């Protein structure tokens, strides 16, 4: 009897192979864009992937400020736990949201080429905002620098993903909000930008505009992901994160730092500001590109000696007062 080919269809249509690497990601539109971008870059190398969405503590806390709830590490903890447990092979983060101290056993395997690191105002340009207009941002850095530019504005926390924040502005709950240019561009929302600040007007967060690919320290995933490394970007963000680390590493520190490469020289500028924008210290430093971390640490020490130490004490005192108030209200 002639075999029925339909009974042996698996011989002609084998099941697809299992994905080689699992990417852990938050479920927001921006996080998924970033995960899919890295997946496409890995795909171009012949590496198959799948994306697993992981809900983080920060995703559950949509009303409390980051300062009240422990900072941006809330958006990475569950993902890093999944990495350590072997449930996923890599995670893709906005590098500005990744704490400088990674859990033991994990590594920043690669930093792809950076996008625009600047900040944008969505709603209206700064000069068109009425006196006393309400501006939404949950970033202490952005709030403090905005108060330097326009002390008359009312700056209040705003939470939610990018779409939620844009909706709150459109509905009139806020006159404007501040967001990263890179995030808006990645989501195809560049048309929402009313103004882009220069890096002198608003110095970006360390690592802003860059992605960080996190893996376990040992294993195939790290070796594969290393192929996505962009050396110039890595040097820049290593320098910026060294400034942050030398100052204590807190995600809520009102610190801006941006490194830029000019030939064989790396130049970094930074600013520390009191939360209300009353006092600030600016400084810059430069050196050979190979000494990125040393340049960052030296700049941090310059900031401290120029008055940054007093600002850090004020920031710590304000955070302590806010935490005590939160406990009393609980």
Stated as kind and residue range, the H or E segment containing 256 is strand 255-262
- Residue 93 DSSP SS3: strand
- Write the CA distances from 146 to 149, 150, 228, 290, integer angstroms: 5, 6, 35, 34
How confident is the model over 209-241, as pLDDT tens digits? 999 999 999 999 999 999 999 999 999 999 999
Q: What is the pTM of this model?
A: 0.86
Position 250 scores a pLDDT of 65
Label residue 64 by pLDDT band (50, 70, 90). Answer: very low
Which segment of 64-73, 87-96, 172-181 scores lowest on mean pLDDT? 64-73
C-alpha 252: how far from chain center: 12
Whole-angstrom distance, CA of residue 187 vs CA of residue 210: 15
Whole-angstrom distance, CA of residue 15 vs CA of residue 308: 60
Label residue 271 by pLDDT band (50, 70, 90). Answer: very high
Whole-angstrom distance, CA of residue 50 vs CA of residue 290: 35
Whole-angstrom distance, CA of residue 110 vs CA of residue 20: 18
How confident is the model over 101-144, as pLDDT tens digits? 999 999 999 999 999 999 999 999 999 999 999 999 989 999 99
Position 249 scores a pLDDT of 72
Which residue has better confidence, 107 or 57? Answer: 107
Number of Cβ within 10 Å of residue 201's Cβ equals 15
Tokens 């939404």 label which residue? Answer: 136
Label residue 322 by pLDDT band (50, 70, 90). Answer: low
Position 18 scores a pLDDT of 53
Kindly report the average pLDDT of the chain as a whole number: 88
Task: List the alpha helices (DSSP H) in the chain.
Answer: 9-12, 29-44, 57-60, 66-69, 77-85, 140-149, 162-170, 181-186, 220-225, 231-246, 292-303, 309-329
Whole-angstrom distance, CA of residue 90 vs CA of residue 16: 22
Over 80: is that where the pLDDT of 23 sits?
yes
Say if CB 156 and CB 178 are below 8 A apart: no
How confident is the model over 303-317, as pLDDT tens digits? 999 999 999 888 877
What are the structural domains of the chain?
A: 1-112+210-229 (3.40.190.10), 119-196 (3.40.190.10), 230-325 (3.30.160.40)
Label residue 180 by pLDDT band (50, 70, 90). Answer: very high
Position 248 scores a pLDDT of 86
Share of the chain above pLDDT 70, in %: 84
Q: First and final CA of the chain: distance in angstroms? A: 79
Position 4 scores a pLDDT of 52
Position 328 scores a pLDDT of 44
Over 50: is that where the pLDDT of 9 sits?
no
Q: Tell me, what DSSP letter sits at residue 100?
A: S
Over 80: is that where the pLDDT of 75 sits?
no
Over 60: is that where the pLDDT of 325 sits?
no
Both structure tokens of 103: 């859990």
- Cβ-based neighbours of 281, under 8 Å, separated by 6 or more: 271, 272, 303, 306, 307, 308, 311
Whole-angstrom distance, CA of residue 106 vs CA of residue 216: 4
Mean pLDDT of all residues in 166-190: 96
328 is known as an active-site residue? no
**In the Cβ-directed half-sphere of 112, how many Cα atoms lie within 13 Å?**
19
Cβ neighbourhood burial of 202 (10 Å; 0-12, 13-18, 19+)? buried
Q: Which residue among 97, 115, 119, 152 is the active-site one?
A: 97
Say if CB 176 and CB 129 are below 8 A apart: yes
Over 60: is that where the pLDDT of 63 sits?
no
């Amino acid at each position: 009897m002639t075999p029925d080919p339909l009974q042996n269809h698996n011989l002609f249509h084998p099941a697809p192979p299992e994905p080689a690497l699992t990417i852990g990601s938050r479920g927001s539109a921006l996080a998924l864009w970033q995960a899919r971008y890295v997946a496409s870059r890995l795909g171009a190398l012949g590496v198959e992937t799948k994306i697993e969405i992981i809900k983080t503590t920060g995703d559950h806390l949509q009303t409390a400020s980051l300062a009240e709830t422990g900072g941006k590490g809330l958006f990475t903890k569950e993902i890093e736990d999944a990495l350590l447990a072997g449930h996923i092979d890599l995670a893709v983060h906005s590098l500005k949201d990744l704490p400088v101290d990674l859990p033991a056993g994990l590594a920043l395997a690669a930093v792809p080429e950076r996008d625009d690191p600047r900040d944008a105002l969505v709603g209206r340009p700064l000069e068109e905002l009425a006196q006393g207009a309400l501006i939404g941002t949950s970033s202490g850095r952005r709030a403090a620098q905005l108060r330097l530019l326009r002390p008359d504005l009312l700056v209040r926390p705003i939470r939610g993903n990018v779409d939620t924040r844009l909706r709150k502005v459109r509905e009139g709950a806020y006159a404007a909000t501040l967001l990263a240019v890179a995030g808006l561009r990645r989501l195809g929302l560049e048309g929402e930008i009313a103004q882009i600040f220069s890096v002198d007007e608003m110095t970006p967060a360390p690592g802003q505009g860059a992605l960080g690919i996190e893996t376990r320290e040992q294993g195939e995933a790290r070796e594969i992901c290393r192929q996505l490394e962009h050396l110039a970007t890595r040097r820049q963000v290593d320098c910026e994160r060294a400034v942050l680390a030398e100052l204590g590493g807190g995600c809520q520190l009102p610190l801006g730092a941006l490194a830029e490469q000019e030939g064989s020289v790396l130049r970094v500028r930074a600013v520390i500001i009191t939360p209300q924008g009353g006092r600030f210290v600016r400084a810059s430093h430069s050196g050979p590109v190979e000494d990125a971390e040393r340049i960052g640490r030296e700049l941090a020490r310059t900031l401290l000696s120029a008055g940054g130490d007093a600002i850090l004490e004020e920031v710590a005192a304000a955070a302590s007062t806010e935490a005590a108030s939160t406990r009393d209200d609980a």
